[in-house]
A = this chain, B = another copy of it.
Amino acid sequence: MEGFNIDYIEIIGLTAAVLTTTAFLPQVYQTWKTKDVSALSLPMLLIFFIGILFWLVYGILQKSLSMIFANSITILSSFLLVYFKIKYSKRS
């Protein structure tokens, strides 16, 4: 991709990206499947979501393909957790 350098450093970063985003997905799946959001704290989810937003901006400014890739996926995952928390909390 133009402007992006895929060297050995970026391969380490992309490995990191795949591992940490993969580790996060089962939580999203489990929450969606069980609708059990009792163990999730809304303030913590919001802090995490805003944190990931900052990481994404940081990655874009640093032109880091790994960080843009990882944080684009994780921001979606964490948005879904916030959404599930609000949606399923109302029921109980």
Contacts and interface: CB of A to CB of B under 8 A. Distances in A.
The majority secondary structure among interface residues of chain A is helix
B66 A13 contact: no
**In the complex this chain forms, how many copies of it are found?**
2
A49 to B, nearest CB: 9
A51 B12 contact: no
Interface of A: 9, 12-13, 15-20, 22-24, 26-27, 39, 41, 44-45, 47-48, 50-55, 57-58, 61-62, 64, 66
Given A12-B57, A17-B51, A39-B39, 19 more contacts: A9-B58, A9-B62, A12-B54, A12-B58, A12-B61, A13-B54, A13-B55, A16-B52, A16-B53, A16-B57, A18-B51, A19-B47, A20-B47, A20-B51, A23-B45, A23-B48, A24-B48, A27-B44, A62-B62
